[in-house]
A and B are shown apart, each in its own frame.
Chain A
């Protein structure tokens, strides 16, 4: 496989996508986990709801992973056929990676919401569903970020037939 400048830029895009999303999800899940440990120290039976709430900020990490994989498959680093990657396409892939990475920062806020949600569930177990909805609201813009990235990839022929 020929290492062109375009290919390097595309790989950097994949790196940004996964790397920033990993940091954000990690912090978010960490915030939630800190609260979760407090909840189960009072009542170990609440581990189920606590675990579900802690898992919610993880989705941004998955979007980052997906974005990185789409780029890598699209430019032929992974599995797909090796292509000639022009410089422009490299920049486009970098842009897509950046938008996913940046929009994944919402995971930090989502982690904070999930942490508070655990406090709500600890006091009143019937608010579990509502706590989940509150946390999930923060994910809206991460999803839009993924969407824009996908549109970029499709538009610049990184993805699609």
Chain B
């Protein structure tokens, strides 16, 4: 709770022959975070004895198979006729995840099995996919042709005349109206007047034209007239007038479209048949790949393999027993406590309710192994700050409902959504309490009901200065808690100098100032002098910045009051606006209700977000900086987690 899970270093020396079974068992247990031996092998002593473990020989095969499987699953995904679940539905009312039953396949059997499946799928799907691609190509070409045909629609020629004969070329094109004269002139020059240009004006100041010229002059003419903004329209293999061609091409498109749908259905059927089997292959391959890849972290010594890692203290005994079991005792296993400079992975352990708030700690960064897990301190602080900044009981109820819906909806299958829901719901409850005590029920709207008014013990809009003082006192307390945690932690770790020099001066300064103010000058001065001595001892030249730093820290908590007032103020504004509209008659009443609802929802969203962010920020910047060391690496054990498979 106060610290990350205690870990033990585990070292296994076993016969190489048992390597696969050992890894597989480790994967099933999910308790060991493997460390990479490569770093240790730079040590001269070890370098003589050990070699890095040779990488797996089948990993490339597995990678290739994975690529093929993923490719097919992607293809199926595109033609999948099942509807995907919408985003909102996924969060609030997800359907239970589908589980596919299978027996466990691994090792060589898995490789062969996957090869078999891939072969069969490839056989069935190759033809339909190829035909589909051809159809798409044809559709593309037809659509392009229709576009071109539309440009020259007005020309009344037979398209089968377009192209080359033995001596002449017939070319279609488009030119802007203003360039037409120049075009004729240029063509006269180029061909000695041996050409024909038939024109028909089209829309937007362009003219469609058919050009007939000598075949041998075609290339030079085209290069030339392109500079006069002549745009060639390339149409091949069509008959009839452009309008007729457009019709026939449209008919062709319709037929192609139908054929396409047919082929899609075919692929859809194949997808249904093979999708599950491919998913099984995909996930089993992932597990196998993890096993094979972990080998590169080991060291080897002739016919032995050496595995090193971290295991949580309470799982150490069981893990050792299972390892010995799997290798028929042909191994030597040692567990030891971590040393000071070891980079131990971090796993947070907290009781159930507090565990949901771990995501707030993770947002900042995991603690180092020897540091403190701040989550349990974060919970009361965050709930208090959030509720003070969102001082409204009705908003608290809204937050609670939102959290509840998340827990009951997406939270059933997704731990992150469930945690988020618990955070919201508990924040909502806290806000309900504080909101009720400060008389916030949609601002001052609810105070019309006398029993709600009776519960109000403090009006933040009236007792503004008092509210500010309360916020600063809360801030001072919070900072002191942070300081105390730091001092106690450092004492426990034996860092006496840190414990005394860093922040202890602050704990003496406060009673010093207090006694001085209330008149006990002598006692006050004694405390202040002790505090100054500690301050100079711990910080020397930077002492001044410590004082200003602490002042800034405490003042920062004034935002509790500012944001709390902000919520109340805007809620009041919404109420004032609504009441003004209400007086205007029937239309006014409708608008008044709309303004009321929209305004309060807007206020809720903006200020809930603000309270959340600032509540966290106060913890991260004013609280954590006193004692928290982040930067720990996550405990990531070799673990077998199947998304959709259920092993029978």
Contact = CB atoms under 8 A, between A and B. Distances in A.
Interface in A106-161: 128-130, 132-133, 136-137, 139-140, 143-144, 146-147, 150-151, 154, 159-161
Contacts, number: 80
A26 B278 CA distance: 51
Given A78-B576, A143-B559, A147-B561, A154 B465 contact: yes
A160 B566 contact: no
A146 B465 contact: no
A159 B464 contact: yes
A59 B563 CA distance: 10
Contact of B468 (A55, A128, A139, A147): A147
A56 interface: yes
Contacts of A63: 566
Contacts of A52: 609
B606 interface: yes
A69 B570 contact: yes
B498 interface: no
B558 A143 contact: yes
Nearest to A56: B613
A133 to B, nearest CB: 6
Chain A binding surface SS class: helix
B202 interface: no
B462 to A, nearest CB: 5
Nearest to B363: A129
Interface string A27-66: 0000000000000000000000000100110110011011
A144 B616 CA distance: 18
A136 B570 contact: no
Contact of B562 (A55, A128, A147): A147
Nearest to B605: A55
Interface in B616-648: 616-617, 620-621
A49 B351 CA distance: 30
B562 A154 contact: no
Contacts of B562: 143, 146-147, 150
Given A63-B566, A154-B464, A133 B609 contact: no
Contacts of B558: 143-144, 147
A101 to B, nearest CB: 16
A161 B363 contact: no
B344 interface: no
B46 interface: no
B617 A136 contact: yes
Nearest to B365: A130
A7 interface: no
Interface of B: 362-365, 461-462, 464-465, 468, 555-556, 558-559, 561-563, 565-566, 569-570, 572-573, 576, 579-580, 606, 609-610, 613-614, 616-617, 620-621
22 contacts: A58-B606, A59-B610, A62-B566, A62-B606, A63-B566, A65-B570, A66-B573, A69-B572, A78-B576, A79-B579, A136-B613, A140-B559, A146-B562, A147-B558, A147-B559, A150-B562, A151-B465, A154-B464, A154-B465, A159-B464, A160-B461, A160-B462
The 8 A-B residue pairs whose C-beta atoms are closest, nearest first, are A129-B363, A79-B576, A143-B559, A154-B464, A66-B569, A69-B573, A161-B462, A143-B562
Given A56-B613, A69-B569, A137-B621, 9 more contacts: A59-B610, A65-B573, A69-B573, A70-B569, A133-B620, A136-B614, A140-B559, A160-B461, A160-B464
